[in-house]
A and B are shown apart, each in its own frame.
Chain A
Amino acid sequence: MSLSGLGSSAETGQRLKPYLLALACVVSSSLVALLIAPFSSLEDEVMVYLLGDVLAALRFDTKTSVLTAAGGILACDFLFIPPRMAFAWTDARKMLSLLAMLVVAVVVSGLSQRLRHQEKVARRSASATKALYELNVELSGGGDVRQLAAVTRRRLERLFGGQVLVLLGTPEGTLQGVPAELSQAELGLAEEAWGTGFGAQAELAGYAMWCPVLGISQPLAVIGLKLETRFAQKSAQGLLLSACARELGTAIERMRLAKAAHRARLDAETEWMRSSLLSAVSHDLKTPLAGIVASGTTLLEHEGKLDASASRRLVSGIVREGERLGKLLQNLLSLSRLESPAIALRKTPEAVEDIVASALARLDDLLAPRKLTVELPDDLPWVLVEPALVEQVLLNLLENALKYTPPSSSIEVSAEASAGVVKLRVADSGPGIAEHEREKVFEKFFRGTGAAMKDGGVGLGLAICRAVVRAHGGGIAVSERRGGGTLVEFTLPVMPASAVMSVEPSEVSA
Chain B
Amino acid sequence: MMDSPVVLVVEDDRDMRSALGVALRGRGYDVVEASTGSQALAKFREAPPNLMILDLGLPDIDGIDVTLRVRHEHELPIIVLSARSEEEQQVRALDAGANDFVSKPFREGELMARVRAALRYAPRAREYGEIEVGDIRMDTVRRRAFVNDVEVELTPTEFKLLHVLISEAGRVVTHQQLLTEVWGASCKNEVQYLRVYMRQLRTKVEENATRPKRIMTVLGVGYRVVP
Distance (whole angstroms) from the CB of A486 to the closest CB of chain B: 22
B220 x A509 contact (CB < 8 A): no
Q: Interface readout for B184-227 with A: 1 if CB under 8 Å, 0 if not? A: 00000011110111010000000001111000111110000000
A355 x B219 contact (CB < 8 A): yes
Distance (whole angstroms) from the CB of A191 to the closest CB of chain B: 50
Tell yes or no: B26 within 8 A of A by CB.
no
Q: A346-B88, A351-B199, A376-B210 are in contact. Are A501 and B192 (CB under 8 A)?
A: yes
Q: A330-B84, A353-B210, A358-B217 are in contact. Are A510 and B193 (CB under 8 A)?
A: no
Contact of A357 among B183, B196, B211 (CB under 8 A): B211
Complex: how many Å from CA A443 to CA B87? 28
B157 x A507 contact (CB < 8 A): yes
Complex: how many Å from CA A132 to CA B190? 55
B193 x A507 contact (CB < 8 A): no
Chain B residue at minimal CB-CB distance from A382: B192
Distance (whole angstroms) from the CB of B34 to the closest CB of chain A: 25
Q: A323-B105, A349-B191, A356-B210 are in contact. Are A503 and B196 (CB under 8 A)?
A: yes
A388 x B219 contact (CB < 8 A): yes
Distance (whole angstroms) from the CB of A95 to the closest CB of chain B: 106
Complex: how many Å from CA A280 to CA B201? 48
Q: A387-B220, A388-B87, A509-B156 are in contact. Are A354 and B195 (CB under 8 A)?
A: yes
Which parts of A336-354 form the interface with B (CB within 8 Å)?
A: 337, 346, 348-351, 353-354
Task: Indicate the member of B182, B196, B197 with the most A CB atoms within 10 Å.
Answer: B196
Tell yes or no: B155 within 8 A of A by CB.
yes
Residues from chain A with Cβ under 8 Å of B193 in the complex: 501, 503
B85 x A334 contact (CB < 8 A): yes
Residues from chain B with Cβ under 8 Å of A330 in the complex: 84-85
Residues from chain B with Cβ under 8 Å of A350 in the complex: 195, 219
Chain B residue at minimal CB-CB distance from A501: B192
B219 x A358 contact (CB < 8 A): yes
B183 x A509 contact (CB < 8 A): yes
Overall SS of chain A's interface: helix
B220 x A348 contact (CB < 8 A): yes
Complex: how many Å from CA A275 to CA B76? 50
Q: A334-B85, A351-B195 are in contact. Are A360 and B219 (CB under 8 A)?
A: no
A509 x B157 contact (CB < 8 A): yes
Distance (whole angstroms) from the CB of B88 to the closest CB of chain A: 7
A501 x B210 contact (CB < 8 A): no
Distance (whole angstroms) from the CB of A504 to the closest CB of chain B: 10
A354 x B219 contact (CB < 8 A): yes
Residues from chain B with Cβ under 8 Å of A333 in the complex: 85
Residues from chain B with Cβ under 8 Å of A348 in the complex: 191, 220
Tell yes or no: A261 within 8 A of B by CB.
no
Distance (whole angstroms) from the CB of B27 to the closest CB of chain A: 18
Contact of B211 among A346, A360, A500, A509 (CB under 8 A): A360
Residues from chain B with Cβ under 8 Å of A387 in the complex: 219-220
Tell yes or no: A391 within 8 A of B by CB.
yes
Tell yes or no: A326 within 8 A of B by CB.
yes
Residues from chain A with Cβ under 8 Å of B219 in the complex: 350, 354-355, 358, 387-388, 391
Tell yes or no: A361 within 8 A of B by CB.
yes
Complex: how many Å from CA A333 to CA B155? 45
Residues from chain A with Cβ under 8 Å of B191 in the complex: 348-349
Residues from chain B with Cβ under 8 Å of A323 in the complex: 105
Complex: how many Å from CA A205 to CA B155? 80
Distance (whole angstroms) from the CB of A382 to the closest CB of chain B: 7
Tell yes or no: A126 within 8 A of B by CB.
no
Residues from chain A with Cβ under 8 Å of B209 in the complex: 353
B220 x A357 contact (CB < 8 A): no
Complex: how many Å from CA A388 to CA B220? 7
Chain B residue at minimal CB-CB distance from A413: B210
Tell yes or no: A88 within 8 A of B by CB.
no
Selected A-B contacts with CB under 8 Å, 17 pairs: A330-B85, A333-B85, A346-B88, A348-B220, A349-B191, A351-B199, A353-B199, A354-B217, A357-B210, A361-B211, A386-B220, A507-B156, A507-B157, A509-B182, A509-B183, A510-B156, A510-B157
> Which 5 A-B residue pairings sit nearest by Cβ, starting from the closest?
A510-B156, A387-B219, A503-B196, A354-B217, A507-B155
> Known contacts A337-B85, A361-B217, A507-B156; can you find 13 more A-B pairs with CB under 8 A?
A330-B84, A348-B191, A349-B195, A354-B217, A357-B210, A357-B212, A357-B217, A361-B212, A374-B210, A388-B87, A500-B192, A509-B156, A510-B156
Which A residues form the contact surface with B (CB < 8 A)? 322-323, 326, 330, 333-334, 337, 346, 348-351, 353-358, 360-361, 374, 376, 382, 386-388, 391, 500-501, 503, 507, 509-510
Which B residues form the contact surface with A (CB < 8 A)? 84-85, 87-88, 105, 155-157, 182-183, 190-193, 195-197, 199, 209-212, 216-220
